[in-house]
Amino acid sequence: MKRYVIAALVAASIAGAAFAFANSLTVGTQDLASGSAAVNSGCTGLSANWVTSYVTSPSHYKLATINIHGNSAACQSRFYKVTIAKSDGTSLEEETGQLGATGNGTDAITPVADINAADVGTVTAVLTNAAL
């Protein structure tokens, strides 16, 4: 039951974050400036699901894989950043990658850390035009 609740929270977080677009940051030799530019080129959202695996010692379910899916063919080859965090916002891990070049664009992320699935509060994703 806990897995379904966590999965629902992830889906809600990803859906909300899918409408956030990356900001551009320009750094000069003397000045620091920021701005924003929409990076939407038809890819208007991401969805995610995850797979857990059981660890016997100490006994818990760990986050084994996060699957990221674009919602249209316009998402192909788009770069993304995924943040896995506790419910209080404390980051557990960040991953960057690139969606596949076929279908709607998909990718599978294997977290580096042994993340207890019960600790996950949100998973957010940001689409970008370039690798981070």
pLDDT value for 129: 67
- pTM for the structure as a whole: 0.63
Residue 32 has pLDDT above 60, yes or no: no
Share of the chain above pLDDT 70, in %: 67
Residue position matching structure tokens 């897995």: 3
Type and span of the H or E element at 7:
helix 2-17
Residue 109 has pLDDT above 60, yes or no: yes
pLDDT value for 118: 93
Q: Give me the mean pLDDT over the 6-35 stretch.
A: 41
Residues in the chain: 132
pLDDT value for 103: 85
Domain extents in the chain: 2-128
